Structure 1
Amino acid sequence: MTGGGRESEGGEEEVRGARRIPGPRGAADDLDLESVPLPPLPPPGGSAPDEAVPEQSAPEPERGHGPGPGPDPAAPEPGLGLGPAPDPDPDPAMASAPVVLPHQVLKALLGAWALSACSVEETAAVEDHLTGCAPCADEALRLRDAVGLLHTDGSLDLDPTLRTRVLDGCFGRRPARIPVPEWAAPYDAETARLDALLRDIGDSEWHAPVRLQWFEEEHQVSRRTTVAGVIGHLTAVDGLLSAALGLDDPLDGGKAPLDPTERTETYWAATRRPPTRAVREPWRAQSHELIRTASFAGRNVAETSVSYGAFALPLQDALLDRAFECWVHGGDIADAVDYPYQAPSAAHLHRMIDLAARMLPAALAGRRSAGLAGPAKDLVAAGAPGRSLHLEIEGHGGGDWYIALDSPAAVGSPERAVAQVALDGVEFCRLVAGHISPVEAAAGQEGDREAIRDVLFAAASLSRL
């Protein structure tokens, strides 16, 4: 039995000296009290260890020659642990050896150390190792930075403009082999932005209700459809440009009407079931084909006439018109599905405003012929310049335009300006799109009130389904 106990003590000393990862630290109740060595008991009739023997008042008789003084009844019973406290200095044999771990084990503990999941001994060993190991120190710093990202308070949602900014950066550093013409760039940008919105929405949101608004004569009208219906409308009207370039028209080119509203109604009527997200692929393929054809042909097709039935536009203006409508209806869809949608870039918005300003004299002449605008003036003297209105667009995409009031062929002149209207760029576009009434549009007005009213209503009349 004695020999077995010595072997056990020797085994414990070998375990304490081994290089190993300390196990989990248990609670005090989990300790094996039988394995903890107890202080030695005092000898029978003697004092506790390290306790001084009190002086005797009488010489102690020789042992075995008569009874000595009896035990003090007030003295504590031996072995009950009520004597003086043991020596506070621990036994060196009982002190645990410092944790010494190999490099591979310490490297494996770096992740737990970064998460503050190591024990006290492991933490001390890892931090001591990092002072002398540069690769592990770099890895530990990287892991600590990664742990900091797990506790960020910022939003993890991507910026809606990230895709546009990345593409702009790529194209700025590496131009396309066959660049998109400048007059086609707004259409390219707006179709890409709308396509990014459509990629983000779910299947159910394709059936979200959308109310399209425009202006007819003196009143604002609207039409209810869905997100998929709006894309079908864009596909039908873009077909006018495809037909002008000799590409496939989504409607039968020989029988399909040219008027955008009639084309849309025909396209919707040909769909037996409510349109779904399946309309996205044909629309996007058609827009890609238009951009590709315009890029390869370049100036040779810029002046190609595109008929809208009641009027016609050269292809470069028609693509700008389609970019404007793509942005406007993209905003309609974004409102329906609660999606952030920004205005076009300042350069593209300026070009859209310029197209509307150039179309205003003809729109004003059409309203005058229908009796909806005041009569023309200053046409008695041959060659005399007509009146003009100063249209001042402020903010995003702003500028100054002078709108001829008396003849669609005349050119506006600052010297003949009889009125001035100041508008924000986006608000002017909303007026041209028929989303706000002319009465609500102007931020600043000065001069001939009749001329101002005629121009604002002419701008609203440019809108259509």
Structure 2
Amino acid sequence: MNEAGRLEAYDEHETDGEKDYEERQHEEKEYEEKEHDGQEPYDGPGEGKDDKTADDGPGGPGDGTPPTTPSPDPDRPPLIPLPRASVEDGGRPLPTPADLGDPAPRPAPLVLEHRVLKALLGAWALAACSPEETAAVEEHLGDCGACADEALRLREAVGLLHQPESLDLDPALRTRVLEGCLERRPPRIPVPGWAAPYDAETARLDALLQDFGDAEWHAPVRLKWFEADKETSRRTTVAGVIAHLLMVDGLVGIGLGLDDPMGDVTADRPTPAARTEAYWRTSHFPPTRSVRAPWREQSHDLVRTVSFTGGTAGRLAISYGDFELPLHDAMLDRAFECWVHAEDIAEAVDYPYTPPSPHHLHDMIDLAARMLPTALAVRRRTGLASPGPGRHLVPAGSPGRSLRLEIEGLGGGEWLIPLDSPAALGSADFEVAHVALDGAEFGRLAAGHVSPTEAAAGQVGDREAIRDVLFAAASLSRM
């Protein structure tokens, strides 16, 4: 296309644009005039009721007068809507859910009787009520003091159900409960202090056994002890361990004049191991849960009998076959064995078991510490312990070489163990060694459950004396 053609096309385009603009202006003019005259507006050319009316009158395109803008009618809404006003600005009330067409209006509050609300307090404390019930209960608690107190107690009880601690009872709980009861009403026949550890440990073991099924009663248990400086063990079951305790506790019963649970079968077998082996051979093998009843009855009889003596029989000699112990020490010995074998049972069924209360544990450790000089002398006579520095036998009641045994933790203390003679006195002036152990660890050492070479937590001084005392402690163990 040449230059002349482009100019001609441009002029035609400009002309068409001007015509379109004039037609739009004419249509807007007609729309405003009809709005002013109260006629229906039209959407475009040819759609009005009378197209000719738009050109008549002043201001029309045919009379040559300039167009005039009609004034708006105050009674009609503006062509361009104004911004909407807020409800709060007009002071009118807010619309309700019904005005807005809400299909789910809020339900009316529940109206329940007092007995129903009181019955819901437990579910409310556990957060198990529906929202409507919760609202009704909480509204009621503001008006009823009795229900409010009950709800507070229930909420505190629910808090105890979510404690992260173990639910096992404190081993000292029984002692504290008994002490509290006895402070308010002393017993007519009190249990001697030296029999209290046995009473407590048999009760703890009995509580462990009460929920055992047949599988637990036949769970394998390995009894351990030291013999001639060697670890020894014997395989049995939970029921077999209770039978062992029944037989050895029977030695104390025989000394008190009670019936022997074995009758005449073991009259010539006075040692604990011999009595136990005889029972295992002659009784129903393996022993079953039925052994719990006679063991429990015998333990009650022992506590009852020593209580009736008023504590005066504490020095009565109890024979163990190879040695004797006064009754008050024999009861401590039986309490110690009960704790040790209860731990064996708990380990077999994978259940936690705690040491005795500190006061009772201290008494058990004291018994073992008092037995150490005799055990050390026996080992020295059999060549299992060193003969010492070649000194002459220390006279009875005189101080001699000593080892300080320090037991740490609850139930602990310090003991000076004479090394040269059971009749000698422990003396800090002649201290040659110092050993420190945990209380429960020392108990397991004396039970033969821990090796003497691994038991000591701290050692200072004569290494030979320390070794002799630790192995003497392990030699106190027996089946």
> Does the TM-score normalized on the shorter chain lie above 0.5?
yes
- Structure 2 match to 1:250: 261
- Structure 1 match to 2:312: 300
The DSSP-based 3-state class of the residue aligned with 1:413 is strand
The CA deviation string for residues 309-334 of structure 1, in whole angstroms up to 9 with x for no partner, is: 11100000000000000000011111
- Structure 2 match to 1:345: 357
Q: Equivalents in 2 of 1:152, 1:322: separation in Å?
A: 37
Question: Alpha carbons of 1:284 and 1:118: their partners in 2 closer, same or farther (altered >3 Å)?
Answer: same
State the Cα distance separating 1:153 from its structure 2 match: 4.3
Q: Equivalents in 2 of 1:282, 1:379: separation in Å?
A: 51
Q: Does 1:322 align with 2:334?
A: yes
Q: Is 106-115 or 359-368 further displaced after alignment?
A: 106-115
- Structure 1 match to 2:250: 239
The DSSP-based 3-state class of the residue aligned with 2:285 is coil
- Structure 2 match to 1:206: 217
1:181 to 192, 197, 215: 192
State the Cα distance separating 1:391 from its structure 2 match: 1.1
State the Cα distance separating 1:170 from its structure 2 match: 3.3
2:413 to 354, 377, 399: 399
Q: Equivalents in 2 of 1:381, 1:361: separation in Å?
A: 13
Q: Equivalents in 1 of 2:329, 2:319: separation in Å?
A: 12
Aligned residues: 376
State the Cα distance separating 1:102 from its structure 2 match: 6.8
- 1:313-462 alignment runs, 5 A limit: 313-376=325-388, 377-379=390-392, 385-462=399-476
Question: Alpha carbons of 1:268 and 1:139: their partners in 2 closer, same or farther (altered >3 Å)?
Answer: same
Q: Equivalents in 2 of 1:108, 1:322: separation in Å?
A: 56
Q: Is 318-327 or 135-144 further displaced after alignment?
A: 135-144
Question: Alpha carbons of 1:169 and 1:369: their partners in 2 closer, same or farther (altered >3 Å)?
Answer: same
| C-alpha RMSD over aligned residues | 3.5
The DSSP-based 3-state class of the residue aligned with 1:332 is helix
The DSSP-based 3-state class of the residue aligned with 1:415 is strand
Question: Alpha carbons of 1:140 and 1:340: their partners in 2 closer, same or farther (altered >3 Å)?
Answer: closer
Q: Equivalents in 2 of 1:130, 1:192: separation in Å?
A: 44
State the Cα distance separating 1:159 from its structure 2 match: 2.9
- Structure 1 match to 2:227: 216
State the Cα distance separating 1:444 from its structure 2 match: 1.3
State the Cα distance separating 1:195 from its structure 2 match: 0.7
2:113 to 72, 85, 104: 104
Structure 2 residue runs of 5 or longer lacking an equivalent are: 1-36, 41-48, 50-94, 100-104
Q: Does 1:134 align with 2:148?
A: no
- Structure 2 match to 1:117: 130
Q: Equivalents in 1 of 2:210, 2:399: separation in Å?
A: 52
The DSSP-based 3-state class of the residue aligned with 2:168 is coil
Question: Alpha carbons of 1:337 and 1:166: their partners in 2 closer, same or farther (altered >3 Å)?
Answer: farther
Question: Alpha carbons of 1:366 and 1:144: their partners in 2 closer, same or farther (altered >3 Å)?
Answer: closer
The CA deviation string for residues 87-109 of structure 1, in whole angstroms up to 9 with x for no partner, is: x9979xxxx9x969876389559
Q: Which has the larger radius of gyration?
A: 2
Question: Alpha carbons of 1:99 and 1:440: their partners in 2 closer, same or farther (altered >3 Å)?
Answer: closer
CA contact (8 A) 1:390 1:421 kept: yes
1:274 to 283, 286, 302: 286
The DSSP-based 3-state class of the residue aligned with 2:460 is strand
State the Cα distance separating 1:373 from its structure 2 match: 1.1
CA contact (8 A) 1:107 1:136 kept: no
The DSSP-based 3-state class of the residue aligned with 1:223 is strand
Q: Could you state the TM-score of these two structures normalised by the residue count of structure 1?
A: 0.72
Q: Equivalents in 1 of 2:136, 2:321: separation in Å?
A: 83
Question: Alpha carbons of 1:159 and 1:365: their partners in 2 closer, same or farther (altered >3 Å)?
Answer: same
The DSSP-based 3-state class of the residue aligned with 2:426 is coil
- Structure 1 match to 2:237: 226
Q: Equivalents in 2 of 1:380, 1:273: separation in Å?
A: 51
CA contact (8 A) 1:160 1:340 kept: no
Q: Equivalents in 1 of 2:450, 2:283: separation in Å?
A: 31
Q: Equivalents in 1 of 2:435, 2:247: separation in Å?
A: 35
The DSSP-based 3-state class of the residue aligned with 1:347 is helix
Q: Could you state the TM-score of these two structures normalised by the residue count of structure 2?
A: 0.70
State the Cα distance separating 1:278 from its structure 2 match: 0.9
Q: Equivalents in 2 of 1:242, 1:430: separation in Å?
A: 26
CA contact (8 A) 2:379 2:385 kept: yes
Q: Equivalents in 1 of 2:368, 2:377: separation in Å?
A: 14
Q: Is 262-271 or 406-415 further displaced after alignment?
A: 406-415
State the Cα distance separating 1:361 from its structure 2 match: 1.0
Structure 1 residue runs of 5 or longer lacking an equivalent are: 1-54, 59-68, 70-87
The CA deviation string for residues 108-154 of structure 1, in whole angstroms up to 9 with x for no partner, is: 598388755265xx8877777776x43686389569848x9399644
